[in-house]
Structures are given as structure tokens and as C-alpha cells.
Amino acid sequence: MYIAIDGPAGAGKSTVAQRVANRLSIPYIDTGAMYRSVTWNALRMGISIHDEIHLAQLAESLDIHFIPGAQGQTVYLGGEDVTQAIRSSEVGALVSTVAMHRLVREKLVERQRKMASEATGVVMDGRDIGTHVLKDADVKIYLTASLETRAKRRYDELVREGYKGTYADVLETVAKRDENDEQRTASPLRKAQDAVLLDTTTLSVDEVVEMIVALCEYRQ
Ligand code: C5P
């Protein structure tokens, strides 16, 4: 079973996708972590977020591994645990600029399709999974929530990790990221025509997971 989950920032995609993958005993591929890892590596190496050629080289050579665990997935980059680092507010503010570059996307999409083809099923989340990466996915979900709800979820997550900024800053970053993701020319964020729209503003994670698992069982 191939499941594509797309949607704007902070809609709860990764939490939900991870839980659905556990329930169905299939791997979870967090494509946002791949764009974040390229951004984090570029910052560390002093590569400009506007330097498409060098960013694409980073994307091509990205040595990324996802290791599932009881507390969620750990992301390793060249053997280094970058799970927290790639979710910093600094990376969050720059990642959508990196993700606008067509060459970067081509390299990462190639790897995402390869990872999916090596498994008998996956849950993959991102922005272009149902519309581009896995166009033939068995189940497509477009997960969203109001901007304020999504910003609040992201703010709470950052605060738990020691963030000292304000909710207003996070709201602005999330709104800017959505705008970049929706307006870019290379596979912009869109709901696939055949995706099921789920607005999670008033739903709990458990409720969303149950709905998606039920849909998967129905389609099987
Ligand atoms: O999912 P997450 O919020 O971690 O994604 C970070 C950023 O990576 C998104 O805002 C978007 O710019 C980019 N992205 C993308 N395509 C994907 C996954 C993520 O452009 N499939």
C-alpha cells in the first residue's frame, strides 16, 4: 500500500504519517526532512541558499537514513543524528527557498521514488507526493488546518526544544513558508484531484490516524 500525505506546514503530517506507518507496519519517509537536511548541510558548509548547482550536488550526495523508534523517527545524516538540528527555526525559515530550486527537487524526488520502490509499501509525506512523486499512490490525503492552529502547534513544538522567540514570529515564518511552497513553479503545494481533504483544526491526532487507517483498509 502506497500512501501519500501532503499539506501545508504544521498540519500534523509527520506525526500522523508516522503513526499510520506503524499501524500498517510499513516504512515512513519524511521528505521534508530531506529538504531540511540539504538546507542544514548548506548552512554548515557555507553554501548559499541561492546556489542551485551546489545545493543540487548536496542533494545528490545526501547520505540520509531514517531509523524508526518508540519515540518517533531518528534522522541520520552521514552517521550524525540531525533529528533536532534540522527542525530548528533557522532551518525552518530557509528551507522553502532551498526547495524552490528545480535541480534540488529533481535529485531528491529521484531518491524518494527509489526509496519507495525498494519497499512493498510506504507512507510518504511532503508537499508534492500525491501530485508528483507518487502519482499512483493507493491513498492520497491532503492534511490541513487553520493557519493559527498550525502556527500554534509549531510554536509549542519549538518551545519544547528551547525556542525563545514569539508566537507572532512563528506565525509569520509558517505563513511565508506556505506562500513559497504554493507559489513556486517547480511542483508547488497543491491538493491532488484524487486526494481526500482532511481539516485537522478540531480533530485529535488519534481521530485523524483512525480515519486514514480506515480509508486504507477500505481501499485494500
Ligand atoms: O514537511 P516539512 O515542514 O518538514 O517540510 C519543510 C519544507 O520542505 C517545506 O516547507 C517545503 O518547502 C519543503 N518540502 C517540499 N517538498 C516536499 C517536502 C518538503 O518542497 N515533498
Could you report the per-residue pLDDT of 61-95, keeping only the tens digit for each?
999 999 988 778 999 999 999 999 999 989 999 99
Ligand 1 pocket at CB < 6 A: 9, 31-32, 35-36, 95-96, 99, 126-129, 177, 181
What are the contacts of 132-137 at 24+ separation with CB within 8 A? Answer: 132/187, 133/4, 133/31, 133/109, 134/2, 134/4, 135/192, 136/2, 137/2, 137/3, 137/4
Weakly modelled stretches of the chain, pLDDT under 70: none
State in Å: Cα 100 to ligand 1 middle: 10
Residue type, 78: G
DSSP state of 37: H
Instruction: Indicate which atom in ligand 1 lies nearest the CA of residue 14.
Output: 1
Residue type, 113: R
- All residues at 6 or more sequence positions from 99 whose CB lies less than 8 Å from its CB, including other chains: 35, 105, 127, 180, 181, 184
Q: What was the ipTM of the complex prediction? A: 0.99
The pLDDT of residue 70 is 77
The label of the residue with cell 541520520 reads: 76
Residues in the chain: 220
